[in-house]
Structure 1
Amino acid sequence: MLNLFKFKGGVKPPTNKTQSLGRPIAVAPLPSRLVVPLHQSIGGTPRPVVQAGDKVLKGQLIGEADGWISAAVHAPTSGTVVAVDMHIQPHPSGLDALCVVIEPDGRDEWTTRVPVDHRALAPEEVRERLQQAGVVGLGGAVFPTHGKLTPSKTVPMQELVINGAECEPFITCDDLLMRERADEVVRGIGIFRDLLQPEKVLIGIEDNKPEAAAAMRAAVQALGESFEVVQVPTLYPAGGAKQLIRVLTGKEVPASKRSTDLGVQCFNVATAYTAWRALAHGEPVVSRLVTVTGNVAEPCNYEVLIGTPMAEVLKLGRPHPDTDGIVMGGPMMGFLVPDGEVPVVKATNCLIAHSERLFPPKAPEMPCIRCGSCARACPHELQPFEMYWFARAKNFGKTQEYHIFDCIECGCCSFVCPSRIPLVQYFRFAKSEIWAREREKKAADTAKTRFEFKQLREEREKAEKAEKLARAAAAQAAKKAAEAAAAAAAGEAAPGETAAAVDAETDPKKAAIAAAMARAKAQREAAPPRNTEQLNAVQQRELDEIEARRQAAGISPAAPAEKTE
């Protein structure tokens, strides 16, 4: 008998699960239009590989994975791509994202499916096939599954934990999956076991699901596996990965580490099921089980195509006239979607028809009395009341000192607060502000780096230009010095000029000066004497004497004057 542990905090809200457990899983009909978001998992946004007008088949690739932490997206049915553009997303903000809009042709015709035996493939190829099939965590985190199937190189894998707790109120899709398709769930767990090679496999199911636990035990026994099915106490949020790991193994995963650092990995039962379908049947993730419940006449679990408008899914449960919205997820961590036309995505595990009768408006918020109830209920041992005060004062640095990013937004603190303070909303606000400031700081740092690089480039270019000019001047001076030296060697220069030419070989500035003096002298010698046309005999004799002295001194004679008639 496995020894169970406890995690701190937790609450016991009304489960409201029996309403949707009375009927088997049904298949939702083809919708009139499918809006398939390309970004449905943590990581990079897949790149569209289709365009408007393309014909697609069910399971055909429409979004190619962008990087290792990313997962491909496929056409949920056969039809025609009518647009690849922005569309509103299932998010409280109501922001839009790039989607592929498909008009079904009604035939629901599959593309070619290639089943494989994962045991005949290398582990790297199995992980690659899971990525190409778009398998992600269907428990809500939607982390690409192949990224979690790489064991640590330093810590041996000790426990593989399979999450079948499903602790959130109203949600029963995992319960029905384990009851009706336990065999395929166990086979999918076998794939994870073969890749990670853990010492033991633990399947955790809350003790308010006896039928699901019995079905899983029967499937494990029938397939001859050694997996252990463990029923854990019903306590929200026992379905959180860290909480379930704590209950089953006694290991507490620090905020700064991953569970693999402690030799543990956790997967949802629906994730194991889709992994088996992807490999053994060649079917990528094009649909998922969704609980339709709340203010409806016929609660049920449906297998819904990804991209189906939520309003069309909710109609299957026949909502009552006073329904005034749709909650995606459970009442603790879910949110009201901004519009009924938002599509079902891989993270959509439950749609609750909202009404004031089912969810009465909360009484006005009152001042915090610092009773500490929120701290006692927090499963991560945080101090929500301190984070609340600093978030309200917009002192976001202090909220980080109280580890606000360790908060999983489970809602336990808001559930027990006697002052009815929506604590989780304050924490979400603080996180978004911190992220926004980090983005602004990163943008400012990038701009500063770009400006400094520009200055460095301009200074480098200026220095290179100055160096180039200096080299050109030196080359010109050297050339003229060489010319002066050649003239001196030919006996055409005076002794002083020869010495200057020799000096010019070692000093470019002297060379430039000597060259300039040589040019001036040449110009003077080339200039004919003036005012020598009309000389008397005495003046002519004096001029001849001057020329004789010049010749005796080795000075070139002046050019003879031109005679004019």
Structure 2
Amino acid sequence: MSTLTNKLWRNHGGLHLPEHKTISTQQPVQCLSAANLPELVIPLLQHARFYPEPVVKVGNNVYKGQALAKAKGYSSLPIHASTSGQIIAIEPRPIPHLSGLNDTCIILKPDGLDTWTPERLEPLANYTDYTAERLRQRICGAGIVGLGGAVFPAALKLETQGTALHTLIINGAECEPYITCDDMLMREKAQEIIAGIQIILHIFHEHTDPKGLHCLIGIEDNKPEALQAMQQTLAHSQDSRIQVVAIPTIYPSGGEKQLIHILTGREVPSGQRPLNVGILCHNVATTRAIYRAVVLGEPLISRYVTITGSGIKAPQNVEVPLGMPIKHLIAAAGGYTQHQPALVMGGPMMGINLANDTLPVVKATNCILVEAAIQPPPALPCIRCGKCADVCPVSLLPQQLYWHARARHLDALEHHHLFDCIECGCCSYVCPSHIPLVDYYRFAKGEVLKQRETQEKAELARARHEFRQERLERLKREKAEKLAQHKKASQEPTAPSSEVDSKKVAIQAALDRVKAKKSPAPSVSEDKPA
């Protein structure tokens, strides 16, 4: 068994930001019901990878927890009905996404009964009796994704790929200002989180480091109630494999690679995953969803969401059914304090702007930030102060990335490790010229990916063309060889000359005999010679 330690390591860069967290943690989490809503808008794609395939049609009646779309392919996940009702449309609708575009959604009209499906997933309360593959199938079938923001399919992260795991990191840092949904989840559902961790540990018990597998739960020290709740629950569980660790409050300590370094001192190499170095990282909300899927048989159809900001009357946390329009969350929090405030999904550093409050809650929705609409100051020329490099948590050179992004020097961007950027916004926050640096990096990433796709298509086209040319040349060579063989065969005698002559003599003799037989016999004269 690996020895648990309280030693912590310091990341490069980072910021101490105004927290604004206590305004939304003064009351218990409110559970919102979808039963009496006019409609739920459930996007098909709520995870990072491929679309699922709808299994319902317009007019179908569905139950709560029933699958609306099934996984299509290895990296796809199903989606489920958040309540019972009728499917009234399957059509493009606006979704909360950085692109601001529409996407295919299933529109569900609740019937007010909130009736669970009779084909509910079978509870696997004695999960230790099941194989790791069976548990991964359950987690995949429940549609569980990483609820910390990346929404990567959780079951895929639980595949070892032959790597021995030695450390499980549970991310309870929640470092971004305003967001408190994980804080409240740890206060109120600590037992379910610990139980979810134990399920993950069981899944990996056959693929662990020879020294054993242990778990570190990283929580920022500005969450004393959450720390206390988790520590007390852990003490009751008496599981020596798990340890709660308080870490310093600094943004962005909740980044996956940043938290791993803080807790273990290990660095995940550029372009690799934590599993490549024997570490797995999951969010606290994800572990709770895993527990409910395995032990209770519940798919992922709701989540904790923070409603906060100066533009809301009663900031708080709510448990929300997926697909609920944001305006109903706003109403549950007392409504707006001002006319036409700005809406952000996520926090002020990494959140995305929302066009309006009719957009639905999705699996990636952890916070709705309501603030006064403020026009950002105009960007000024870069003065090369270097502050952006000082605060970058992944030790990049944001200024160089900015120049290359503006000039579209795509090869240079990759050379400067553009894709190591976690888009935390620290560089934009400290820039005295108010340059929206992260926007440039996002644009540049899209251009690089587009170039890669174009190059891959060109390479595929080139390979297909070369294969075709080779095939035509091969056919041409084969045809020429056959013609040459026929020509050579026609020029060569079929047998030696002596053998040919003997055959000709035999044939001629046979013909002569046949001719002789056919000729009339000569007449005999009766006259005798004198």
Alpha-carbon contact 1:92-1:338 (below 8 Å) kept: no
Q: Which residue of 27, 30, 33 maps to 2:31?
A: 27
Tell me which amino acid in the other structure corresponds to 1:15: E
Aligned to 1:288, the other structure's residue is in SS state: strand
Q: Which residue of 156, 159, 163 maps to 2:167?
A: 159
Partner Cα separation in structure 2 for residue 233 and residue 348 of structure 1? 25
Identity over aligned residues, as a percent? Answer: 45
Q: Which residue of 60, 68, 72 maps to 2:74?
A: 68
Which residue of structure 1 aligns with residue 318 of structure 2?
302
Q: Which residue of 432, 446, 461 maps to 1:432?
A: 446
Which residue of structure 1 aligns with residue 53 of structure 2?
47
1:214 pairs with 2:222: no
Quote how far apart the aligned CAs of 1:348 are.
0.7
1:169 pairs with 2:184: no
Instruction: Call closer, same or farther: CA 1:454–1:278 in 2, change over 3 Å.
Output: same
| 1:246-257 correspondence to structure 2 within 5 Å | 246-257=261-272
Q: Which residue of 94, 117, 141 maps to 2:150?
A: 141
Partner Cα separation in structure 2 for residue 91 and residue 493 of structure 1? 99
Quote how far apart the aligned CAs of 1:230 are.
1.1
Quote how far apart the aligned CAs of 1:472 are.
10
Q: Which residue of 361, 374, 390 maps to 2:388?
A: 374
| 1:111-510 correspondence to structure 2 within 5 Å | 111=117, 112-113=119-120, 114-116=122-124, 117-151=126-160, 153-155=162-164, 157-197=165-205, 199-226=213-240, 227-294=242-309, 295-317=311-333, 318-356=335-373, 360-456=374-470, 491=508
Q: CA RMSD in A?
A: 2.7
Alpha-carbon contact 2:163-2:275 (below 8 Å) kept: no
Tell me which amino acid in the other structure corresponds to 1:62: L
What do residues 64-114 of structure 1 show as CA deviations (whole Å, max 9, x unaligned)?
223333322111111122233333221121223332222211111111332
Partner Cα separation in structure 2 for residue 417 and residue 337 of structure 1? 24
Instruction: Call closer, same or farther: CA 1:448–1:29 in 2, change over 3 Å.
Output: same
Q: Which residue of 77, 80, 88 maps to 2:83?
A: 77
What do residues 11-30 of structure 1 show as CA deviations (whole Å, max 9, x unaligned)?
01111111111121112231
Partner Cα separation in structure 2 for residue 338 and residue 493 of structure 1? 106
Aligned to 1:188, the other structure's residue is in SS state: helix
Aligned to 2:355, the other structure's residue is in SS state: coil
Partner Cα separation in structure 2 for residue 259 and residue 384 of structure 1? 24
Aligned to 1:92, the other structure's residue is in SS state: coil
Partner Cα separation in structure 2 for residue 338 and residue 79 of structure 1? 28
Larger radius of gyration: 1
Which residue of structure 2 aligns with residue 544 of structure 1?
none
Instruction: Call closer, same or farther: CA 1:92–1:492 in 2, change over 3 Å.
Output: farther
Partner Cα separation in structure 2 for residue 10 and residue 210 of structure 1? 22
1:105 pairs with 2:111: yes
Alpha-carbon contact 2:201-2:213 (below 8 Å) kept: no
Tell me which amino acid in the other structure corresponds to 1:171: I
Alpha-carbon contact 1:167-1:239 (below 8 Å) kept: yes
Which residue of structure 1 aligns with residue 527 of structure 2?
none
Partner Cα separation in structure 2 for residue 467 and residue 315 of structure 1? 83
What do residues 153-192 of structure 1 show as CA deviations (whole Å, max 9, x unaligned)?
344x222111111001111100111111111111111111
Alpha-carbon contact 1:152-1:261 (below 8 Å) kept: no
What do residues 104-152 of structure 1 show as CA deviations (whole Å, max 9, x unaligned)?
1111111133211211101110111110111111001111112222336
Partner Cα separation in structure 2 for residue 43 and residue 335 of structure 1? 20
Which residue of structure 2 aligns with residue 57 of structure 1?
63
Alpha-carbon contact 2:163-2:278 (below 8 Å) kept: no
Alpha-carbon contact 1:323-1:354 (below 8 Å) kept: no
Give unpaired runs (5+ residues) of structure 1.
495-565
Quote how far apart the aligned CAs of 1:424 are.
0.5
1:6 pairs with 2:24: no
Partner Cα separation in structure 1 for residue 228 and residue 510 of structure 2? 116
Quote how far apart the aligned CAs of 1:463 are.
6.7
Alpha-carbon contact 1:150-1:195 (below 8 Å) kept: no
Q: Which residue of 19, 24, 28 maps to 1:15?
A: 19
Aligned residues: 487
Quote how far apart the aligned CAs of 1:457 are.
5.1
Aligned to 1:228, the other structure's residue is in SS state: strand
Partner Cα separation in structure 1 for residue 380 and residue 42 of structure 2? 42
Tell me which amino acid in the other structure corresponds to 1:53: G
Partner Cα separation in structure 2 for residue 43 and residue 339 of structure 1? 26
Aligned to 1:35, the other structure's residue is in SS state: strand
Alpha-carbon contact 1:323-1:353 (below 8 Å) kept: no
Alpha-carbon contact 2:24-2:317 (below 8 Å) kept: yes
Alpha-carbon contact 1:93-1:338 (below 8 Å) kept: no
Partner Cα separation in structure 1 for residue 67 and residue 345 of structure 2? 26
Aligned to 2:145, the other structure's residue is in SS state: coil
Aligned to 2:23, the other structure's residue is in SS state: helix
Larger CA deviation: 301-310 vs 427-436 = 301-310
Give unpaired runs (5+ residues) of structure 2.
206-211, 512-530
Which residue of structure 1 aligns with residue 528 of structure 2?
none
TM-score (norm 1): 0.80
Partner Cα separation in structure 2 for residue 491 and residue 470 of structure 1? 35
Which residue of structure 2 aligns with residue 523 of structure 1?
none
1:37 pairs with 2:43: yes
Quote how far apart the aligned CAs of 1:460 are.
5.8
Tell me which amino acid in the other structure corresponds to 1:7: N
What do residues 242-266 of structure 1 show as CA deviations (whole Å, max 9, x unaligned)?
1111111111212132212222211
Alpha-carbon contact 2:174-2:183 (below 8 Å) kept: yes
Aligned to 1:273, the other structure's residue is in SS state: helix
Tell me which amino acid in the other structure corresponds to 2:79: V
Tell me which amino acid in the other structure corresponds to 2:137: E
Quote how far apart the aligned CAs of 1:315 are.
3.0
Alpha-carbon contact 2:271-2:420 (below 8 Å) kept: no
Quote how far apart the aligned CAs of 1:361 are.
2.5
Aligned to 1:428, the other structure's residue is in SS state: helix
